[in-house]
Amino acid sequence: ANSYNSIALIYQSLGQSEKSLKYHQKSLVIREEILDSEHPHLGISYWSTAVAYKAIKEFEKATDMQEKCLAIFQTALPENHPYQQRVFNTWLAIYYSKAVDSFKKKEYSAALECLDTLNQHTNDSDYWNYTGLCHYYLSDYPKAIEAYQKLAKISSPKHYYNNIGTAYVKNKQFKEAHAAFTEYEKLDSNEGRVYRNWAMYYALQGDQEKALQNLQKAIELGYNDLNWFKTDDSMNGLRDRSDFKALLKKLE
């Protein structure tokens, strides 16, 4: 079992995840056969196999393995044993990887299920940021604002002001959006995203001229997210204008 485990770790170091999993499974089969069900070495094998499943994005199997490991360690090891925190951190990492994978697939509700679990156990800026983004893309702006307010306590102001400002503006809370965008601009007035935000602010209030002026400045400063220009609903009032179409053509 130890030999198979060593081979698995070598494949893992080489980035060959499928082969690594194969040998972790061989090791696990032996340990399940010869060890007591609460033996720490069996827990370690579950742990290693969980990490291998995580690497190939089989998150349900990874979670199942890691929870078996947690159960063994809680029984077999002292509460203050260093493995307790390490194995718990791996459990969190599996949920986080699953959340990010779902987010990248635009499966925002599925991502939120994982993030809600994570947020119950720890206060992490990445978790709250993704939580806010998921709610934002699901058009649940009040919940996005709530998540970003929690993010504010543990994240950099720049990150916070941009994110919560866009949620405020989509939620038609223009006073709050103006305050957030003003603070964001103070932090970096030469970033194109600053003026993209102001374009949203003015467009959603019907001031198309100021919106277009800010879009032009955003592009001049390097903001070139063509997909945002084509899909963000804040730009809907501008889409029939020739000058907006000219900006899109310039970006293309």
CA 181 to chain centre: 23
pLDDT digits (tens, 9 = 90+) for 110-161: 999 999 999 999 999 999 999 999 999 999 999 999 999 999 888 777 778 9
Record the tokens describing residue 190, joined without a space: 């030469």
Listed in sequence order, the DSSP H helices in the chain are 2-13, 17-34, 40-55, 59-76, 82-104, 108-121, 125-137, 141-152, 157-170, 174-187, 192-203, 208-220, 226-231, 242-251
List pLDDT tens digits, range 40-74: 999 999 999 999 999 999 999 999 999 999 999 99
Q: Are the beta carbons of 181 and 201 closer than 8 angstroms?
A: yes
137 vs 244: CA distance, rounded Å: 24
Say how far apart CA 33 and CA 149 lie, in whole Å: 50
